[in-house]
A and B are shown apart, each in its own frame.
Chain A
Amino acid sequence: MTPNPTQDVRGTGDSGGSRRSGAPTALAALGRGGTATVALLLALIFVVIATQNPSFFEGPPLMSFAKKAAPLVILAIGQYLVIVSGEFDLSVGSLVGAQVVIAARLIDGQEAMTLPVIGLMMVFGLVVGLVNGLVTTLLRVPSIITTLGTMLILFGAVRYWTGGAPTGALSESFRVPGRHGIEGVPFLGELPWALVIALVLAVGAVFLMRSPFGRSLVATGDNDVAAAFSGVRVWRVRTMAFVGSSLMATVAAILIGGYAGVTAQVGDGLEFTAITAVVLGGVVLGGGRGTVVAAVLGALTVEALFTLFNQLYLPSTIQPSVQGLIIIAAVAYAARRGDLRLPERLRRRPAHPTERSLGTSRR
């Protein structure tokens, strides 16, 4: 599916940058993608935080921020896989909640149950992802409906199973990845496991997006008919994306449960925070555009915004409005700059004869 092999090294990460044909190093590609806007916004927020709280960039506060942000980063990676393939996954918030509740109930404070239960959670995540994927692709139910359904099913099933309030307790070892880290690291103090896990998954996702599978995923999101004609098994690729998202949600659940333990509200509304993060990263809803790095930066930006609001003692009642304003402004700015462009089918205009869509196929 890649007629021009020289494009291979560039991955799918530079949808906005392929217009220029200079020597495309990875760094330059990053700078030119939708990534630039979100990186700029993140830097701006960090600057404002620094003016309010100069000690924020000393090791421990920064690591504490990383620990808090890691689950959202991981969720955003999962959500990116689905969104870039042209679908949505609204079920992740409910899935996180369900997984934490399942873990607490089955582990019930017994250390020996930790690993078996984590294994079971992975299997459960896999099943939820498969169901989402297969119902969407084979039964042709729009993913927004499928995953809305899964969200409600999980929410209701957990409520029914627990009678409305979670029971049991997580073991200490279950809580290690989300709560603890490598002690005694110079400058940083403690390097949280959550940060290590998020980094590994982010790097893994970057490589995944450069692999043939990643290219198929983006091609599917850009134009599934064309992708199918060029030999991509669209249903399989999309199903894999849903499985990836559910597995990421499972990892996020382990970290969130580890971070703060079990409460009845765990996971509420996370699906929209994750989608916000991905959109803020400039990954266009509808698929086929944007980089996984931008999605990660988007997640960090959303978390940084929450931190900033808190530093400013912004009344929490107004916070969603300010968050909404900033997101619209940032995405509009990126669109104006040309970082984001409409999908090929909406912008086939003769005025831009040199414009090309992806760094992959149609050259």
Chain B
Amino acid sequence: MRVPRVLLAGAAGLTLMLTACTTDAPADSPEGGSGAELTPDEEWFDEAEFEAQLAQREIPPEGPEDQPWMQAIEPEWIDTSEFVHDAPEDATLCFSNASVSNPWRVTGFITMEQQVEALQEEGRIGEFRVSDAADDDNQQISDIQAFVDSGDCDAIIISPSTTATLTPAVETACESGVPVVVFDRGVNTDCMVTFIHPIGGYAYGADAADFLVENLEPGSTVLALRILPGVDVLEHRWAAAQEIFADSELEVLGHEFTEGDGAKIKDLVSQHLQRGEVDGIWMDAGDGAVAGLEAFEDAGQPYPVIAGEDELSFMRKWKEEELTAIAPVYSNFQWRTPILAADMILAGEDVPSEWVLPQEPIREDELDEYLERNADMPSLHYAKFGGEDLPGFPEAWTER
């Protein structure tokens, strides 16, 4: 009786102590820059792709300047005459959506629906069918299979939930003979007619990190707030930031996973502020940026230099408090493009085989313009949603 009791007490204590010991090194020597690992994880870092994305930021896109969703960076046009539809006004578009589980996807999906309405009014497409997999790979595989089996789809649009798992399902859709359009996250095949996406995660993370490097004195401290580990688009953002911070004089205090939860972000930032100054905040997505800034207010500390996102709650705070900030953008208007691409394909027009959309951060000089354009929009809306010219604007987005 006595021994096990001691053992158990010891186990509880030991667990605490062990966790204390194993992580002592970074906690004790933050000055050495070991607060955060600044070598990107190989699994998530592709040097060539990183360089390519950084270069794409500088390349002027082809296409109409006032319609960024129709622009493409270095497009390689391909012929789609084999998919010409005799009566596009009767054509059925089928869309397999990964989910609408975050405000970014909700905003984009509304824009997509309004784009469909616009084309339907013009008589350019017919029915629009949607299935939502609620972030479940298996569900999405069977959704795509159901579209193929129904035989009703004249074009299939897919926003894959994950890369590797959805690849065979996309291939199945291609084999059915109808044109397939993939957008947002990619898959490991090029069987689709076009793959539509903004420049990418490396460019996003680099925009944010570059801004901090330019606007902070050497030796300043930076805290990185991340949503989740293991998601490629988010990992690429962090890998790019690691690469850039490693070459800078900034001291990265650490990186924290927040799940985008405001309460968690505020708590984590408050704790870092108790232990010392935080001069800059890098975020892999803007969710909860305002909660992080409030932690500075409540601690009576000056605002940090911050990289958020084009989410309106953050941009309004930026304006109100005159922050030194940047809003990296993961172009939300990309949700319009697949519908337009499907329309072009059914009309036999050429489309880019890989349709790289522009992805430009919003900087201080554009802040007022974007706030004005989105004045009536709710706070969890994305400034570069690109739907101002669509039917139903603004009610479709304000009354979601």
Contact = CB atoms under 8 A, between A and B. Distances in A.
Contacts of B271: 307, 310-311
A45 interface: yes
Contacts of B9: 333
A313 B27 contact: yes
A308 B271 CA distance: 10
Interface string B93-113: 000000011110111001000
A316 interface: yes
Contact of A263 (B107, B261, B299): B261
B254 interface: yes
A268 to B, nearest CB: 7
A44 B13 contact: yes
Contacts of B89: none
A83 to B, nearest CB: 22
Contacts of A4: none
Interface string A162-198: 1111111100000000010000000000000000000
A264 B290 contact: no
A168 B263 CA distance: 18
Interface of A: 41, 44-45, 48, 51-53, 55-56, 60-61, 64, 68, 162-169, 179, 256, 259-266, 268, 306-314, 316-317, 322, 325-326, 329-330, 332-333, 336-337
Given A310-B271, A329-B8, A316 B257 contact: yes
Given A165-B102, A260-B288, A265 B13 contact: no
B379 A164 contact: no
B274 interface: yes
Nearest to A335: B8
Interface stretch (B14-22, B56-64, B166-174, B344-352): B14-22
B287 A263 contact: yes
A265 B16 contact: no
In the A-B complex, list the 6 residue pairs whose CB atoms are closest, starting with the nearest: A260-B262, A165-B103, A329-B12, A263-B262, A167-B378, A260-B263
B259 interface: yes
A260 B290 CA distance: 8
Interface residues of B, number: 54
18 contacts: A51-B20, A52-B27, A60-B274, A64-B298, A165-B107, A166-B380, A167-B379, A167-B400, A259-B266, A265-B262, A310-B256, A312-B27, A316-B229, A317-B229, A326-B15, A330-B12, A336-B4, A336-B8
Nearest to B107: A165
Contacts of B287: 263-265
Interface of B is mostly: helix
Contacts of B380: 165-167, 262, 264
B270 interface: yes
A309 B260 CA distance: 18
B291 interface: yes
A53 B261 contact: no
Contacts of B231: none
Given A64-B270, A261-B291, A333-B9, A316 B27 contact: no
Nearest to A58: B274
Nearest to A61: B274
A53 B274 contact: yes
B23 interface: yes
Interface string B244-274: 0000000000101101111101111011001
B126 interface: no
B23 A312 contact: yes
A48 B379 contact: no
B11 A329 contact: yes
Given A165-B400, A268-B259, A261 B16 contact: no
Contacts of A55: 274-275
A52 B263 contact: no
Contacts of A312: 19-20, 23, 27
Nearest to B274: A61
Interface in B1-36: 1, 4-5, 8-9, 11-13, 15-17, 19-20, 23, 26-27, 35
Nearest to A323: B15
A56 B275 CA distance: 9
Given A164-B106, A165-B106, A266 B19 contact: no
A167 B100 CA distance: 15
Interface in B208-257: 229, 254, 256-257
B17 to A, nearest CB: 8
A261 B12 contact: no
